[in-house]
Each structure stands twice: as structure tokens, then as C-alpha cells.
Structure 1
Amino acid sequence: MTVPPERDGGTAGGFLVAAGALGGAAIGFSIGEATPGFLVGLGVGALAALLVWWRGRG
């Protein structure tokens, strides 16, 4: 029977998504636009998580 290669735990990019969403909502709330701030923060956090994932593949 073959043994699968060991994998490292990877990097937790989900934290970046959550932090971006919360940070964006907080900044948006402070300027009176919580929903657009949340969405922008969510996008920035998702982009950061994708960059972490992409860097970890190589």
C-alpha cells in the first residue's frame, strides 16, 4: 500500500477574510457607509487570502 506524501498544515487565509470584512465594516461605519465598507473589506481580505494561498503553493 502506498503512503500519501505528508502535507504541511498550510496557512490560515480565512483570518484575512474575516479581518478584512470586520475592518471594512468598522471603517465604513465610521463614515456612515457600513455595507459598502464591509464589501470592500471583504474583497480586500479575499484578495489577501488568495495571495497567501498562491504564495504557499510555490
Structure 2
Amino acid sequence: MANPPSRTPMAGGFLLAVSLLAGTIIGAGRGEASIGFVAGLGVGLVLLVAVWLIDRTRTR
């Protein structure tokens, strides 16, 4: 019997971490680090969910 090919899931945590850092740095440059952090969190979560949905559709 042939073994099915192993499939590793995609990870979106990197995108979340990068967007948090970028949002904080951009926000600090504008004098509003907290708002930049929250904006980065929002963008990161959207990207994270997008990666999760794409990965979920690939498995089917």
C-alpha cells in the first residue's frame, strides 16, 4: 500500500508578528504607538484568517 503524501499546514503566525511590529514602528513614528499596535493587530488577524482559509481549502 502506498502511503499518502504528508502535508504540512501553512503557518500565518509570522504574518501576525510582522504586522504587529510594523504597526508599532509606524505608529511610534507618528507619535501613536498604541494605535499602530492595534492597527497592526487588525491587519495581522485578517492575514492570519486568510492564510487559514486558504490552507483549509487546499486540504479538501
Structure-1-length-normalised TM-score: 0.84
Matched-pair identity in %: 44
- 1:53 maps to which residue? 52
Q: How many residues align?
A: 54
Residue type of the alignment partner of 2:24: A
Task: Quote how far apart the aligned CAs of 1:50 are.
Answer: 0.4
Matched, 1:18 2:11: no
What 5-or-longer segments of structure 1 have no aligned partner?
Answer: none
Q: C-alpha root-mean-square deviation of aligned residues, in Å?
A: 1.4
Off by >2 Å, runs of 4+ in structure 1:
none
Could you state the TM-score of these two structures normalised by the residue count of structure 2?
A: 0.81
Residue 31 of structure 2 aligns with which residue? 32
Report what 2:8 is aligned to.
9
Identify unmatched segments of 5+ residues in structure 2.
none
